[in-house]
């Protein structure tokens, strides 16, 4: 099963784009802290449709959110070399103040 659940804070403002077919897509990065050590993991995330529009409209850098989705390996080419990264394709997002 490929299921990812993360909670953390946006490390930058959401980047909203529209595809040639008119679909909205938002890319964002969130920092997720591990309560057992002082390390923060950074996750690249993507969401589509109305969720993408709402995310860009209501959240800014530093906003708290929780996402559920699946992990996807992606690649691109830069300077003649293939580079790889992992992205979370979100299907559910909750946001608002962090619960105490």
Q: What is the pTM of this model?
A: 0.87
CB 74 within 8 Å of CB 86: yes
| Rounded (to 5) percent helix, strand, coil in the chain | 10, 60, 30
Class of domain 4-95: mainly beta
pLDDT score recorded for residue 19: 95
Tens digit of pLDDT for each residue in 18-46?
Answer: 999 999 999 999 999 988 888 999 999 99
> What digits encode the pLDDT tens for the residues 44-62?
999 999 999 999 999 999 9
Instruction: Give the start-to-end residue ranges of the domains of the chain.
Output: 4-95
């Amino acid at each position: 099963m490929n299921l990812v659940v993360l909670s953390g804070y946006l490390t930058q403002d959401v980047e909203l784009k529209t595809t040639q077919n008119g679909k909205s897509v938002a890319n964002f990065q969130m920092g997720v802290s591990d309560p057992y050590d002082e390390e923060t993991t950074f996750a690249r995330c993507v969401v589509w449709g109305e969720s993408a529009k709402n995310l860009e409209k209501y959240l800014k850098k530093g906003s708290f959110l929780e996402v559920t989705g699946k992990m996807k390996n992606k690649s691109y080419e830069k300077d003649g070399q293939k580079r790889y990264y992992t992205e979370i394709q979100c299907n559910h997002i909750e946001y608002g103040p962090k619960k105490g």
